[in-house]
Amino acid sequence: MIIHRKPLRALAVNPYRHYPSSALSSAELMTEQPNPETSFLEQLGQRVRTMRALRGMSRKVLAKVSGISERYIAQLESGKGNVSIVLLRRVSNAMGAHLEDLIPASEPAPDWPVIRDLVRKATPNQIAHAKDVLSGQGNGAARRQMSFAGIALIGLRGAGKSTLGKLLAKKIGWSFVELNKEIEQQNGLSVAEIIALYGQEGFRRMEQAALGQLLARKELVVLATGGGIVSEPLTFDLILSSFYTIWLKAEPEEHMARVRKQGDLRPMADDRSAMAELRTILLSREPLYARAAAVVDTAGLGVDNAAARLIEAVTPVVAQDARMFARG
């Protein structure tokens, strides 16, 4: 099944209901108003759990990298760990995440992480110009236009990005590029070695640099991305802006079977709860994968049928002016 994404209008739902003051007892009122500190810890735990899943890290791996016991991290994620700011900083550093992303607060706009990271890297002149534009004092210069770079495949490990990407590239006559291999070639280290030496944050920096160099070539490619690329806002935004992006989707059991067949359980090796971890990762990433321009569901399909479905999905893109499909 191929799904071409169209924007959906959000439904406004009022979560508030009015009850007469006499309708609820004092005990019921206390039930309706949970302890704010308990609620804060529960939200904090949820954010840590979600961020860990986005990074594709098991609880055991996070414990090892952060130097914090797995039991303590389990307590933290369940909302029962009264964590210190120092330990929380160690957890965020181990995941290569920003500390503020773990702190419960009102939900920002979806593009806020991208804007925040752009501001962090901006020059003083760029920041001044951005302030003028946001305050309505700027001249509204034309926004960044990204040239079309090809087709990018996203999805969990075991989705078939490399296998199907090679077949697609051969069919349409474009080059095939595996982003992780580009990173390895440019840095002279394997992905596992990069993460061991520089951590998740270092790997994400190299991933973004490799993507930038690939785009500088200005050639049409079929790009197979790493499963966790969606966890880095700027890098994923660049993918969506430069490529016609397709989410290769399958059932969790199929992902796991394919990964086992490849002999690669990174980063869930020796973890008896690997299947549960994979489900958690998929659940946390689904809203980000769903930002793709199209979804190709390969559940239950062999390689030939899955390739045929992917080729069918990109036929309109290849046949028409490619620049129409660049999402700015």
**Cβ pair 34, 88 in contact under 8 A:** no
d(CA 265, CA 284): 19
What pLDDT was estimated at residue 138? 56
d(CA 328, CA 259): 33
Average pLDDT over residues 145-162: 84
Residue position matching structure tokens 């990433």: 285
Average pLDDT over residues 63-75: 88
β-pairing verdict for 294-297 and 2-4:
antiparallel
What pLDDT was estimated at residue 292? 93
What pLDDT was estimated at residue 208? 92
What pLDDT was estimated at residue 288? 92
What pLDDT was estimated at residue 150? 93
* Whether residue 254 has pLDDT greater than 80: no
Comparison of pLDDT for 197 and 142, the residue scoring more: 197
What pLDDT was estimated at residue 52? 86
> What residues contact 163, with CB distance under 8 A and at least 6 apart?
303
What pLDDT was estimated at residue 5? 56
What pLDDT was estimated at residue 2? 61
- Please tell me the total number of residues recorded for the chain in this structure: 328
> What residues contact 172, with CB distance under 8 A and at least 6 apart?
222, 311, 314, 318
Residue position matching structure tokens 């008896």: 272
d(CA 55, CA 285): 9
Cα torsion at 277, 278, 279, 284 (round to 10°)?
90
d(CA 59, CA 273): 10
User: How open is the CA angle 8-9-10, to the nearest 5 degrees?
Assistant: 110
What pLDDT was estimated at residue 271? 52
Average pLDDT over residues 205-215: 93
* Whether residue 3 has pLDDT greater than 70: no
Nearest to 114 by CA among 207, 239, 227: 239
d(CA 1, CA 300): 11
Mean pLDDT check: name the lowest of 67-71, 89-93, 211-215, 241-245: 89-93
What pLDDT was estimated at residue 310? 92
- Which tokens hold the place of 234? 């700027």
d(CA 233, CA 113): 6
Q: How confident is the model at residue 240 (pLDDT cuts 50, 70, 90)?
A: very high
Report the mean per-residue pLDDT for the chain.
78
What pLDDT was estimated at residue 82? 75
Q: How confident is the model at residue 79 (pLDDT cuts 50, 70, 90)?
A: confident
- Which tokens hold the place of 117? 């990271």
| Radius of gyration from C-alpha coordinates of the chain | 22
